[in-house]
Structure 1
Amino acid sequence: MSRETLEFQAETRQLLQLMVHSIYSNKDIFLRELISNASDALDKLRIESLINKELQVDTDDLHIELEIDKDRRTLTVRDNGIGMSHEDVVSLIGTIAKSGTAELLRKLRETQDAGASQELIGQFGVGFYSTFMVADRVTLVTRKAGESQGTSWESAGEGTYEIETLEDAPQGTSVTLHLKPEDSEDQLFDYTADWKIREIVKRYSDFIAWPIRLGGAEAPINSMKALWARPRSEVSDAEYHEFYKHVSHDWTDPLETIHMKAEGTFEYEALLFVPARAPFDLFTRDGKRGVQLYVKRVFIMDDCEALIPQYLRFVKGVVDAHDLSLNISREILQQDRQIQAVRRRLVKKVLGTLKDIKTGDAEKYGAFWAEFGRPLKEGLLEDAENQDTLLELLRVTSTAAESTSLAEYVERMKDGQKDIYYMTGESRAMVEKSPHLEAFLAKGYEVLILTDPVDEVWVERVTEFEGKPLQSVAKGKVDLGESEIPPEQAADFAPLLTWLGTRLEDDVKEVRLTARLTTSAACIVGDEHDITPTLEKMYRAMGQELPHTKRILELNPAHPLVTGLRAAHAAAPEAASLGETAELLYGLALLAEGGDLADPARFTRLLADRLATTL
């Protein structure tokens, strides 16, 4: 046997200190977290035994056992599940190997509210560390199914932990909490009392599918009733909420519960939840998605991606199918027609529920959209079948409203307005200050402000809403009625436009007059089907090099700089200063939309020289 002392990862150590020294109003949740982990381990062993026929394990009496020792003041949670290897223990407990940990620590330090701290910890899936709220020392003994050696792990939640290889350890995992003294000022309850342990299990873990036994008794202290198999009228909101916390490892109540049962050629029950808060890994590449899949009450797999599309990856819950094989693989699921039919029904049910919330409770839907609006918009790229519903659910900012639906925008459209106007950009402030909006705001037209990265993509796919075309104010020509450029004015500027087009041919494909500007001298727009600069940046950031898209320089014929440039060009078309003015004019238009100059040093030198001549 080899025993070694290792240091916690720095961020893990900081988190442990916060957990140990923070004051929580409800410390009982430590037991829920340990039981939930034990249940997961039993689920994993059951499915591994079905997949791996060479694995020699006894699955006849899978259970969770709670053992109290009043004299030693210990509480042990033991399971005979899948267990962990030495490497698993180091990586899963000695290190928080998850992105976003630093952000969790920052938020925990900022919040002074105990409830808010619990919610944050739940979001980041570090429930095991809650044991140090009630224990001075924690000992873990585990052996992975199929391996001969076990591992012991022990820590007082300070800077180090001890780990040892064991030649003899039972399969599964036991976690022993060496509880804080009973008279400790922050210990509200005695966790060596049978009644207290029974109360916690009844409140938080009654629905666990495996028997939970206390003190060696054969009779389980939980009912083991599958909530999804019970009529909705027989399940309380509190039971739904606790089940959600079990399947999601979130510590907050869900925003909405969806309980459905399908009968007919393919029977199944589903219990789905829309969370109240986005998980930390919502936008990470390796973030988990999907719901748990059961077949006839037998757990098959976590994160069944075949049942839930990527854009609904925040939905948690359980689907229990009656007619699938117990050893069905993920590959088969992706191709199974029945599963695809279930997926379509689940998606329609979730989207229908969101529509009901939107119609019946604007504040609740606003809270949902703030957390999950961005991934929901991804559905406009992935799910053509439900595009109309997704457009109804869409909420965006506009020049007239902090939050609006497309239907509300259409109701406010001016008489004679044919298009739904929008502009994409990196931020609301940048869009609102863009010269592209000037004429639209002057004439009282409302413009949608789209600043999420996904907005750049979906507006290219969605062409209309309720028969109204979507039109970018930064692309193509705009029809603003009587403000269009008169032919005689266009003729007066034609020589200048031709000269500028030649002078700036490396950067732009056309120079023309526009009615979209009222105060700015110039702006840069794209052709109707051009890729936007922001989208071009996104592709390059992902390693996809694209050919540079030349755009169009539009000039305001009423601006003194433009009229002065026309007069100067007419008087001395070969003057060297004209070329520098053309560069400055283009650079100013580029900067106004938040673009990047190809040669900032040259631009600043030309601008400084020009300013110097005015002094």
Structure 2
Amino acid sequence: RFIIEDHGCGMTAEEMENNLGTIAHSGSLAFKNENEKQDDIDIIGQFGVGFYAAFMVAKHVEVVSRAAGSNEANRWESDGADGYTVAPCEKAENGTKIVLTIKDNTENENYDEFLEPYRIQGLVKKYSDYIRYPIKMDMTRSRMKEKPADAGDDYKPEWEEYTENETLNSMVPIWKKSKKELKDEDYNSFYTQKFYDYQPPLCHIHSSVEGAVTYTAMLFIPSHAPMDYYTKDYEKGLQLYSNGVLIMDKCADLLPDHFSFVHGMVDTADLSLNISREMLQHDRHLKAIAQSLEKKIKSELLKMQKDKREDYEKFWAAFGRQIKYGAYVEYGAHKELLQDLLMYHSSTEDKLVSLAEYASRMKEDQKYIYYACGETIDKIKLLPVMETLSDKGYEVLCMDDSIDEFCVKMLAKYNDKEFKSIADADLGLDSEDEKEEIKKLSEDNKDVLEALGKALEGKVKKVELTSRLKSHPCCLRAEGPVTLEMEKVLNQQAAVNGGQSVHAERVLELNAEHPIFKKLCALQAEGSDKVSTYADILYTQALLIEGMPVDDPVAYANAVCNLLS
């Protein structure tokens, strides 16, 4: 048997009939309504609702209660199936005693686990740790007996068991304490113990809000991502309490996906203890709390970005991809909220910078925010067009994450400045005279460009001259919505998922000032068949520079060897 007993106000026979005889009737709520003018009345739940959960583990329930100021006591009994009985009985003190006769074990359920002290202790600690009244239980302990005075040298220590009435719950939650009482060490210790992390958090958010909704929140930004964070097994959510009683261990509705890395809890009096998961999803108080928390988390992250840059870069290394994903999904619905949190490697600063920092350094006549995508930062810096932008003194954001280009395409602009990939045909750097010059050169060398295009038919859409190159002979770009980086990412996903491959419309660009182009013009004038060989070599080199797969490496190697021989 399992016994729960208090020395409170107790119940009369009539109150037993009303509170225990009707499922979901709340005598505690009625008590509160009768005393609504008294501000110090604190009712945590509806007794009649939670009480009937006892029959989930008990085959017989007995309640003995004596009301305060009464000399009579009554016993309520039920097997949970055929009604109940209420009869007078004897009880020395006022209060209530509940006796649960636990069900017999079955093949699938071990009901006797609820008679184990440490199981009970764990349940109280999990669900009622912060109720502000002590929950005590007799715990069996062992200790060494005192050594007798006449014991000899061969005396062996003896142990004895004893019973100690121990308080199981801590009663006062840390989030209910004043911020002035707490130090960083207190927050860190609470976090590592509560969330089983071996490292302290990067920062904590301790917030109390009163108004349309009233709640207290304590949130933590972890210093590293859990092992399963970027998997489908990860479960987001905050612990949700109502007046210190745990309602839900992980309430996903309190956190948007882009802030799913946040740990913590929310305690509010605006929710009922017996609210269901379905009702929670549509609760307006919960939605208001979630919106408030979202703003608070963003504010704290921006503050970290400004004042504790090293910590923010740790955060970005762990959860930056999630922020980018949040700005991209749902057709960019959250991009305005998240864009200031984004960080990218700067070609001029050689470190991570925010979009605001990049915008503050833009030249007066700069039309675009330039960015470049690639496998690594080092490879991006070696891209042919980077040389031109660097010589002109333009800062380029280097992006080496597979989601970067998708995210930037969704952002489109920042502070009314468009994002411009260095792979685009027009970077906005050429004057009208320079554009006319390239146009004239293209017309004068039409035959060469057509011959190269014919040699690469099926591989590129066209071959054209460009002013985007300085020392490199050629480069590759894409036309249309699918860029070269997108092609790589989408084809990697297709290879994993068995989907259809994607191909961008490729354009081979040639540097009109490079000796290679002049060589091509000479070969064309001679009517040499080496033009097609040069075309294949230049195209393959452009693929290699972009990190694209080469269709026939052997043919490429043989072509280079033939030219060298």
Instruction: Decide which of 158, 167, 171 is 2:114's aligned counterpart.
Output: 171
| Secondary structure in structure 1 of the residue aligned to 2:165 | coil
Which residue of structure 2 lines up, in the alignment, with residue 220 of structure 1?
167
- Aligned-partner Cα distance in 2 for 1:322–1:147: 38
Aligned pair in 2 of structure 1 residues 453, 147: CA closer, same or farther (>3 Å)? farther
Instruction: Decide whether the 8 Å contact of 2:367 with 2:428 is kept in 1.
Output: no
- Aligned-partner Cα distance in 1 for 2:225–2:506: 38
Aligned pair in 2 of structure 1 residues 332, 539: CA closer, same or farther (>3 Å)? farther
Which residue of structure 2 lines up, in the alignment, with residue 540 of structure 1?
494
Which residue of structure 2 lines up, in the alignment, with residue 202 of structure 1?
none
Instruction: Decide which of 346, 350, 359 is 1:398's aligned counterpart.
Output: 346
- Aligned-partner Cα distance in 2 for 1:167–1:417: 72
Task: Give yes or no for the alignment of 1:414 onto 2:363.
Answer: yes
Shift of residue 335, structure 1, vs aligned partner = 3.9
Instruction: Decide whether the 8 Å contact of 1:228 with 1:271 is kept in 2.
Output: yes
- Aligned-partner Cα distance in 2 for 1:277–1:410: 29
Q: Given the two structures, how large is their TM-score scaled by the length of structure 2?
A: 0.70
- Aligned-partner Cα distance in 1 for 2:392–2:325: 33
Which residue of structure 2 lines up, in the alignment, with residue 289 of structure 1?
236
Which residue of structure 1 lines up, in the alignment, with residue 336 of structure 2?
388
Which residue of structure 2 lines up, in the alignment, with residue 481 of structure 1?
430
- Aligned-partner Cα distance in 2 for 1:514–1:586: 15
Q: How does 1:254-293 map to 2 (within 5 A)?
A: 254-293=201-240
| Secondary structure in structure 2 of the residue aligned to 1:170 | helix
- Aligned-partner Cα distance in 2 for 1:507–1:146: 74
- Aligned-partner Cα distance in 1 for 2:235–2:556: 47
- Aligned-partner Cα distance in 2 for 1:550–1:294: 55
Q: Deviations over 1:38-62 (max 9, x none)?
A: xxxxxxxxxxx8998973259x9xx
Which residue of structure 2 lines up, in the alignment, with residue 241 of structure 1?
188
Which residue of structure 1 lines up, in the alignment, with residue 504 of structure 2?
549
Shift of residue 566, structure 1, vs aligned partner = 2.0
Q: How does 1:489-500 map to 2 (within 5 A)?
A: 489-500=441-452
Q: Deviations over 1:230-257 (max 9, x none)?
A: 3333334333223212332112222211
Which residue of structure 2 lines up, in the alignment, with residue 428 of structure 1?
377
Which residue of structure 2 lines up, in the alignment, with residue 561 of structure 1?
516
Which residue of structure 2 lines up, in the alignment, with residue 229 of structure 1?
176
Shift of residue 310, structure 1, vs aligned partner = 1.7
Task: Give yes or no for the alignment of 1:437 onto 2:386.
Answer: yes
- Aligned-partner Cα distance in 2 for 1:554–1:560: 15
Aligned pair in 2 of structure 1 residues 342, 284: CA closer, same or farther (>3 Å)? same
- Aligned-partner Cα distance in 2 for 1:300–1:220: 22
Task: Give yes or no for the alignment of 1:508 onto 2:486.
Answer: no
Instruction: Decide which of 246, 262, 266 is 1:315's aligned counterpart.
Output: 262
- Aligned-partner Cα distance in 1 for 2:54–2:511: 76
Aligned pair in 2 of structure 1 residues 349, 603: CA closer, same or farther (>3 Å)? same
Task: Give yes or no for the alignment of 1:250 onto 2:197.
Answer: yes
Bigger RCO of structures 1 and 2 (CA < 8 A, at least 6 apart): 1
- Aligned-partner Cα distance in 1 for 2:103–2:510: 74
Instruction: Decide whether the 8 Å contact of 1:500 with 1:582 is kept in 2.
Output: yes
Which residue of structure 1 lines up, in the alignment, with residue 57 of structure 2?
56
Shift of residue 486, structure 1, vs aligned partner = 3.4
Shift of residue 381, structure 1, vs aligned partner = 1.7
Task: Give yes or no for the alignment of 1:578 onto 2:531.
Answer: yes
Shift of residue 523, structure 1, vs aligned partner = 0.8
Which residue of structure 2 lines up, in the alignment, with residue 608 of structure 1?
561
Unaligned runs of 5+ in 1: 1-48, 61-144, 152-165, 177-205
Shift of residue 517, structure 1, vs aligned partner = 1.0
Aligned pair in 2 of structure 1 residues 361, 557: CA closer, same or farther (>3 Å)? same
- Aligned-partner Cα distance in 1 for 2:418–2:346: 17
| Secondary structure in structure 2 of the residue aligned to 1:603 | helix
Instruction: Decide whether the 8 Å contact of 2:452 with 2:531 is kept in 1.
Output: no
Instruction: Decide which of 402, 412, 434 is 1:463's aligned counterpart.
Output: 412
Aligned pair in 2 of structure 1 residues 576, 464: CA closer, same or farther (>3 Å)? same
Instruction: Decide whether the 8 Å contact of 1:397 with 1:448 is kept in 2.
Output: yes
Which residue of structure 2 lines up, in the alignment, with residue 306 of structure 1?
253
Task: Give yes or no for the alignment of 1:588 onto 2:541.
Answer: yes
- Aligned-partner Cα distance in 1 for 2:490–2:110: 58
Q: Given the two structures, how large is their TM-score scaled by the length of structure 1?
A: 0.64
Q: How does 1:86-125 map to 2 (within 5 A)?
A: none
- Aligned-partner Cα distance in 2 for 1:288–1:50: 30
- Aligned-partner Cα distance in 1 for 2:114–2:170: 25
Which residue of structure 1 lines up, in the alignment, with residue 105 of structure 2?
148
Instruction: Decide whether the 8 Å contact of 2:487 with 2:502 is kept in 1.
Output: no
Report the AA paired with residue 114 of structure 2.
Q
Unaligned runs of 5+ in 2: 1-49, 62-101, 120-127, 142-162
Instruction: Decide whether the 8 Å contact of 1:291 with 1:307 is kept in 2.
Output: yes
Aligned pair in 2 of structure 1 residues 468, 597: CA closer, same or farther (>3 Å)? same
Instruction: Decide which of 324, 338, 347 is 2:271's aligned counterpart.
Output: 324
Instruction: Decide whether the 8 Å contact of 1:437 with 1:516 is kept in 2.
Output: no
Aligned pair in 2 of structure 1 residues 146, 252: CA closer, same or farther (>3 Å)? farther
State the identity %: 33
Shift of residue 329, structure 1, vs aligned partner = 4.1
Instruction: Decide whether the 8 Å contact of 1:438 with 1:516 is kept in 2.
Output: no
Shift of residue 419, structure 1, vs aligned partner = 0.7
Shift of residue 477, structure 1, vs aligned partner = 2.2
Shift of residue 595, structure 1, vs aligned partner = 0.7
Q: Deviations over 1:416-450 (max 9, x none)?
A: 11111001111111111111312112222111101
Shift of residue 221, structure 1, vs aligned partner = 6.5
Q: CA RMSD in A?
A: 3.5
- Aligned-partner Cα distance in 2 for 1:529–1:219: 68
Instruction: Decide whether the 8 Å contact of 1:207 with 1:227 is kept in 2.
Output: no
- Aligned-partner Cα distance in 2 for 1:284–1:462: 25
Report the AA paired with residue 487 of structure 2.
P
- Aligned-partner Cα distance in 2 for 1:486–1:467: 30
| Secondary structure in structure 1 of the residue aligned to 2:216 | strand
Shift of residue 537, structure 1, vs aligned partner = 3.0
Shift of residue 354, structure 1, vs aligned partner = 1.2
- Aligned-partner Cα distance in 2 for 1:524–1:347: 42
Which residue of structure 2 lines up, in the alignment, with residue 520 of structure 1?
472
Report the AA paired with residue 518 of structure 2.
T
- Aligned-partner Cα distance in 2 for 1:330–1:492: 72
Length, aligned pairs only? 439
| Secondary structure in structure 1 of the residue aligned to 2:343 | coil
- Once the two structures are overlaid, the 10-residue window that deviates more, 500-509 or 454-463, is 500-509
Aligned pair in 2 of structure 1 residues 271, 475: CA closer, same or farther (>3 Å)? same
